[in-house]
Structure 1
């Protein structure tokens, strides 16, 4: 706890005598030190058993007193011990401000004891006063060494904890079968093991968009636990009491920076792997120009199509075979008309308004589609086939060349 300034003669002799005398009082100082710490905050008593704290404090104060008169070239045992203490306290969870307070408190006790050892003798008091700066500089150096080691350890512990939590989350989202996984994840992620959850899979290309989106969807009724992946982000959504998937959709509406898929609600952490696969399936139903979040439960027919790509291609070729042989521009006009007519719930007038053409033009295009596909839009089964074929075509790789 001392300085390293070289001293000779009478100053050195008196200072060494004071420190030697003080070593005999270290147990007494430790008792008072711990009494004051426990009175200052009950956190100290919860960190470590009293006997263990006493031994550590005794060693720290003894090393500090011995360092005051240590040769200039001697290793700084006090700083090495302070670094060890900082690492220990970070691992034990003692707040950093209480660690620094402990060093300050020990410094005051040692300094007061040194002053008492002078016995009121003017010469000894002068020596101690000339040593005050170096003693308190040493206390500051010890507190700084302990604090730096504490912060480094805390950062490493946080990194390890984050990695463990991410590993648990990954295991849940992958649906890996492991005994007790859901219970461990619930404890580690501070989530209920059983309860309503949904999974959101979001395709976002820009980082600033991600961060803005995360801020926008903060809501006390929901908790989002995010996991970044190479091509997307995945969020586990914990629904608050009484909240539904409709509430999640309302929260996400207009705030999403890119296409996303939302799973149905599942009833516990153990079902998140299944929910993640359903959310990814919902995302696959999004055409390239989609900017919002789609729900699987509202896109089931399209989800059936995209989940069977081989059958989807056969459906496209079987329904749109002759249509695909047309010139790209001609083909695009007919498919755009069909898409608009379906979006307008079979109203030729509303479709014409959307397409900026006459309603008779819409009728003529639809009749041509019926001729090319050999199907009638007035027959439910034919209409279903054409609707699914249109979805499959738009979501296929060839749709971008239409």
Structure 2
């Protein structure tokens, strides 16, 4: 019986008589026990109706007292009851500390009453109780330990179920499901406002550190992130604070992500997360295969138009760069790199030459050759747009 010492003869008889006398006074002991508990913390009286709490306390104390005087090999009904009590208290939301305190307080009360009943009577009764002290407190410790173990296991299971429910709600929002009350339930479960500025981040793979992937808000620079793992990406819902925009999201992710990733425009509430997720995925598609940055869709709109129409993008590349693609790979790469750097330098041949480690006249010569091969002029806005979009489509094709 876990710490219970063997008892026979006169000790056994005296202890059994003391426990029997205590059981006759059990109702008043339960009243005192509940009074002490509510005096210790008013939470005890808030978890259960008084009648139900009284019945459960009476059953627990009765089984506990009977256990003290039960034969050594008797079934541990007290531990079975403690396991059930731990499970129920976790489901009811009673703090674990108060559950353990209740067991300790009941143990002290029972022991004090046993000792008080022995004082002034035959010395053998008091001596028998003292010899049983270790066994009594071992029983109380075992009950508290079993109740704690059951409580923690139930709490973990409840948390798992809650997380699964929140995951299902969040997934439904991210998929754009239109269900009455869906956004309100998700807001209540996630402790987030139903209406307010939100953005969605999509990362191609799990690449940034120190992130909790459970569906609970994770703070970062005043923002609240909720991350969801998927087979080929991670999706993050970002609740923006007052006055915060997408620049704040980029700052938080910068250095924590190796990329690539896409950030949606800001939407006005949880019900719009489905649209935001699709736009964040579109932003991600504008990243080259070897990219490492997290990009905003609102800063990649032309490229997003290209990747959203892959068939037209392919035709654009063939139409604009057809002759260029027939060149030797090395020659083609030099010309396309020159165009890319010249565009990044906002049309400055001098700055482009500095980046390419060549003379500015070399840049001009390469650009003129590009114009000849594409039959387009970089000085004409429409031709420049076509070449820029064709370059994006070519880079993103992974060729």
Q: What's 2:84 paired with? A: 84
Matches within 5 A, 1:307-318: 307-318=308-319
Q: Does 1:33 align with 2:33?
A: yes
Write the deviation string for residues 5-56 of structure 1: whole angstroms up to 9, x where unpaired. 3322111111111111110111111000000000001111111111111000
- 5 Å-filtered alignment, 1:312-351, equals 312-351=313-352
Aligned-residue Cα RMSD (Å) equals 1.7
Displacement of 1:260:
1.1
Return the offset for 1:3.
Answer: 6.5
- Partner residue, 1:359: 360
- 2:3, 2:257 → 1: CA distance? 60
1:138 match? 139
Aligned to 1:172: 173
Residue number in structure 2 paired with 1:247: 248
SS of the aligned residue for 2:73 comes to: coil
After superposition, where does 1:133-282 map in structure 2 within 5 Å? 133-206=134-207, 209-211=208-210, 218-282=219-283
Contact 2:37–2:102 (CA<8 Å) still a contact in 1? yes
C-alpha contact (below 8 Å) 1:3/1:68 kept by paired residues: no
Aligned counterparts of 2:255 and 2:305: Cα–Cα separation in 1: 26
Q: 1:174 & 1:4 partners in 2: Cα distance?
A: 59
Q: Over residues 276-310 of structure 1, what are the superposed CA-to-partner deviations in whole Å (9 max), with x where a residue is unaligned?
A: 00001001101123222111001100000000000
Alignment of 1:91-130 (within 5 A): 91-121=91-121, 122-130=123-131
Which segments of structure 1 move beyond 6 Å, counting only runs of 4 or more? none
**Residue 242 of structure 1: SS of its match in structure 2?**
coil
CA distance in 2, matches of 1:213, 1:299: 29
Kept after mapping to 1: 8 A contact 2:2/2:142 = no
d(CA) in 1 for partners of 2:221, 2:327: 54
1:341-394 Cα distance to aligned partner (Å, 9 max, x none): 101111111111110011111111111111111111111111100000000000
Unaligned runs of 5+ in 1: none
Residue 222 of structure 1 contacts residue 237 of structure 1 at CA under 8 Å; is this kept in 2?
yes
Does the CA contact (< 8 Å) of 1:263 and 1:278 recur in 2?
yes
Q: 1:112 to 1:168 in 2, by over 3 A?
A: same
**Greater mean deviation of Cα atoms: 66-75 or 330-339:** 66-75
In the other structure, the counterpart of 1:306 is: 307
SS at match of 1:211: coil
Residues 31-89 of structure 1: CA distance to partner in whole angstroms, max 9, x if unpaired?
Answer: 00000000001111111111111000000000011111212222100000000000000
In structure 2, C-alpha distance between the alignment counterparts of 1:103 and 1:202, rounded to whole Å: 50
SS in 2 for 1:120: coil
**CA displacement, residues 238-265 of structure 1 (integer Å, 9 cap, x when unaligned):** 0111212233233333443211101000
Structure 2 unmatched ranges of 5 or more: none
Helix, strand or coil at the partner of 1:201 = strand
Distance 2:62 2:119 in 1: 22
CA distance in 1 between partners of 2:165 and 2:209 (Å): 23
Instruction: For residue 199 of structure 1, give the secondary structure of its aligned residue in structure 2.
Output: strand
Distance 1:255 1:378 in 2: 41
Aligned-pair distance for 1:178? 1.3
Judge conservation of contact 1:221–1:241 (CA < 8 Å) in 2. no
How far apart in 2 are the matches of 1:180 and 1:280? 26
Cα distance in structure 2, aligned partners of 1:320 and 1:213: 46
Per-residue deviation, residues 82-137 of structure 1 (Å, max 9, x unmatched)? 00000000111111111110000000110011112214221110011011110000
Distance 1:302 1:145 in 2: 61
TM value normalised by structure 2? 0.95
Structure 2 CA distance for aligned equivalents of residues 184 and 287 of structure 1: 38
For 2:176 and 2:381, the matched residues in 1 are separated by 39
Contact 1:319 1:386 in 2 (8 A): yes
Indicate how the Cα distance of structure 1 residues 133 and 33 shifts in structure 2: closer, same or farther if over 3 A, else same. same
Matches of 1:218 and 1:130 in 2, distance apart?
56
> For 1:383-402, what aligned pairs fall within 5 Å after superposition?
383-398=384-399
